[in-house]
Amino acid sequence: MTDGLLNNIIQLEKNIQAEAANEVARVSAWQTRELANLQTALATARSDEEQRCQRLMAEHKTALLREGANLEAAATAWCERLTGLDDTTLHTALKRQLAAILPGGDHDHPHGQG
């Protein structure tokens, strides 16, 4: 080979190496930018999701408090109704319940005593 041809091949090899190094640097810079963009997107998504969860929790809390207040009002109304029952009604209901759970029917003393 002639020296000129050998010099041309060496120069081409140097150009290829320089282009490869430039490409590696360009890809590395692109990768760094993309990673930064993805990290920003992830932080934004996390923040948005946390805000959404906080909002949903607040909505559920409000709904549960409202349901609790409704149950308390219903229980209070039921207790007031029970408080207003007269003794005769209560005794009748008690006898009916005792007859259902005690052996021997609705007798106070199933063995004939009393």
Q: What is the pLDDT of residue 1?
A: 61
Q: What is the CA radius of gyration of the chain?
A: 44
Residue 111 has pLDDT above 70, yes or no: no
pLDDT in tens, 43-96: 999 999 999 999 999 999 999 999 999 999 999 999 999 999 999 998 999 999
Average pLDDT on 5-12 reads 93
pLDDT in tens, 17-45: 999 999 999 999 999 999 999 999 999 99
Domain ranges in the chain are 3-101
Q: What is the DSSP letter of 1?
A: -
Distance CA 14, CA 41 (A): 40
| Residue 110 near residue 102 (C-beta atoms within 8 A) | yes
